[in-house]
């Protein structure tokens, strides 16, 4: 197998499991002269500054990184859901109000979405962040808007992965009786789009402690962030002390990511936005003296960024 950097790079882009192995080898050999393809000089400067700092690099990840694993956002037509003669929009379904009215339908929609997520595999960008965490530990942190759990399945630690909108693979007591968050039962997979929750499924979707109804462990549009379930304060605190905030594949539609970006900018962090298209976050990055917009996909840029940061301080 050719070990030339260009060949390693091409293989990493086409095969996620090879990417993981290659990146880990790259990190272990980083002092022995193998070089990953160079990043943009301006970006390299910002990464070098972050490497020299004890403060963490925070990765804020969004739908773009999951799209490369084949997971749709479920905010467009792929998220529409037929109930009787009515076609619901995702924004109507992902609410506590809808769960109160049509809980079986909401659970059916989430179990279908969960099945899509479970069938997907983490990609080279997820694996790059795993390798970086193994190399630098507490000097990196992920805050993800994605509920698909792919960062954890790739191998990122729960301690350094803030799932700020929850995780579709988990459920909790709908009455908030204080029972711990649990996994959605495996008996509820696979879940084709036409399948609907009935009596048998309803019996599985209950709180283990109080026996009441369980709900998906996700943040809904008509709910607010909190620390206990969604690491709200921890995410803001991480943004305020970050040396560098890398915003990956997210366009800035939700509240906490916006707060994190503004707080990091105000606190003097460098901001790098990786996105296929311009967005409010790329505009913010470009407006800052220590900011950079890297146009492209997460798998285009994250392996090289992670390898650069993984070399350690200085």
Stretch that binds Zn ion, among 179-187, 222-230, 231-239, 291-299 (CB under 5 A): 179-187
Helix residue ranges per DSSP H, 69-168: 90-93, 96-101, 103-119, 124-136, 150-154
Nearer to Zn ion, 44 or 204 (CB): 204
Stretch that binds Zn ion, among 9-17, 160-168, 199-207, 264-272 (CB under 5 A): 199-207
Please tell me whether residue 179 binds Zn ion under the rule CB under 5 A.
Answer: yes
Measured from the CB of residue 206, what is the shortest distance to Zn ion in angstroms? Answer: 8
Nearer to Zn ion, 84 or 180 (CB): 180
Please tell me whether residue 177 binds Zn ion under the rule CB under 5 A.
Answer: yes
| Alpha carbon distance 8, 128 (integer Å) | 14
Please tell me whether residue 210 binds Zn ion under the rule CB under 5 A.
Answer: yes
Please tell me whether residue 205 binds Zn ion under the rule CB under 5 A.
Answer: no
Measured from the CB of residue 68, what is the shortest distance to Zn ion in angstroms? Answer: 37
Measured from the CB of residue 177, what is the shortest distance to Zn ion in angstroms? Answer: 3
Active-site annotation holds for 165? yes
Nearer to Zn ion, 44 or 210 (CB): 210
Nearer to Zn ion, 166 or 303 (CB): 166
- Residue 273: which H helix or E strand, with range? strand 270-275
| Alpha carbon distance 239, 245 (integer Å) | 7
Measured from the CB of residue 172, what is the shortest distance to Zn ion in angstroms? Answer: 8
x/- contact string, 276-295, with Zn ion (CB under 5 A)? --------------------
Please tell me whether residue 206 binds Zn ion under the rule CB under 5 A.
Answer: no
Q: Distances in Å between the alpha carbon of 259 and those of 14, 235, 280? A: 35, 10, 12
Q: Distances in Å between the alpha carbon of 235 and those of 49, 125, 215, 228? A: 22, 21, 24, 12
Q: How many residues does the chain have?
A: 314
Nearer to Zn ion, 229 or 308 (CB): 229
Residues whose CB falls within 8 Å of the CB of residue 49, separated by 6 or more in sequence, listed in order: 243, 244, 270, 290
Residue 148, both tokens? 């698909």
Measured from the CB of residue 183, what is the shortest distance to Zn ion in angstroms? Answer: 15
Stretch that binds Zn ion, among 144-152, 194-202, 203-211, 288-296 (CB under 5 A): 203-211
Say if CB 245 and CB 60 are below 8 A apart. Answer: yes
Catalytic site residue from 126, 127, 151, 165: 165
Measured from the CB of residue 129, what is the shortest distance to Zn ion in angstroms? Answer: 34
Residues whose CB falls within 8 Å of the CB of residue 98, separated by 6 or more in sequence, listed in order: 88, 92, 105, 106
Please tell me whether residue 207 binds Zn ion under the rule CB under 5 A.
Answer: yes
Work out which of 50, 93, 140, 173 binds Zn ion, going by CB under 5 A. 173
| Alpha carbon distance 292, 282 (integer Å) | 8
| Alpha carbon distance 169, 159 (integer Å) | 17
The residues binding Zn ion (CB under 5 A) are: 173, 177, 179, 207, 209-210, 212
Residues with a catalytic annotation lie at: 165
């Amino acid at each position: 197998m050719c070990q030339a950097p260009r060949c390693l790079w091409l293989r990493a882009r086409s095969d996620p499991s090879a990417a993981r192995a290659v990146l880990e080898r790259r990190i272990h050999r980083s002092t022995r002269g193998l070089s990953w393809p160079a990043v943009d000089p301006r970006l390299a400067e910002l990464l070098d500054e972050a490497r020299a700092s004890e403060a963490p690099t925070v990765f804020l990840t969004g739908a773009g990184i999951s799209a490369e694993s084949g997971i749709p956002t479920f905010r467009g037509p792929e998220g529409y859901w037929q109930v009787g003669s009515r076609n619901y929009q995702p924004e109507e379904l992902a609410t506590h109000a809808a769960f109160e009215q049509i809980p079986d339908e909401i659970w059916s929609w989430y179990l279908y979405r969960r099945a899509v997520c479970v069938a997907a595999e983490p990609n080279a960008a997820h694996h790059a962040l795993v390798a970086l965490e193994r190399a630098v530990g507490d000097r990196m942190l992920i805050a993800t808007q994605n509920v698909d759990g792919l960062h954890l399945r790739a191998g990122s630690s729960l301690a350094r992965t803030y799932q700020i909108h929850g995780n579709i693979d988990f459920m909790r007591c709908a009455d908030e009786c204080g029972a711990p968050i649990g996994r959605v039962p495996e008996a509820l997979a696979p879940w084709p789009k036409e399948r609907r929750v009935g009596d048998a499924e309803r019996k599985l979707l209950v709180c283990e402690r109080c026996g009441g109804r369980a709900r998906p462990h996700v943040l809904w549009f008509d709910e607010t962030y909190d620390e206990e379930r969604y690491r709200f304060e921890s995410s803001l605190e991480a943004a305020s002390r970050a040396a560098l905030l890398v915003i990956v594949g997210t366009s800035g539609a939700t509240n906490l990511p916006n707060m994190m970006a503004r707080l990091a900018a105000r606190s003097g962090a460098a901001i790098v936005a990786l996105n296929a298209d311009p967005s409010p976050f790329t505009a913010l990055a470009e407006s800052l003296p220590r900011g950079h917009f890297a146009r492209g996909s997460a798998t285009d840029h994250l392996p090289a960024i992670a390898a650069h940061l993984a070399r350690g301080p200085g």
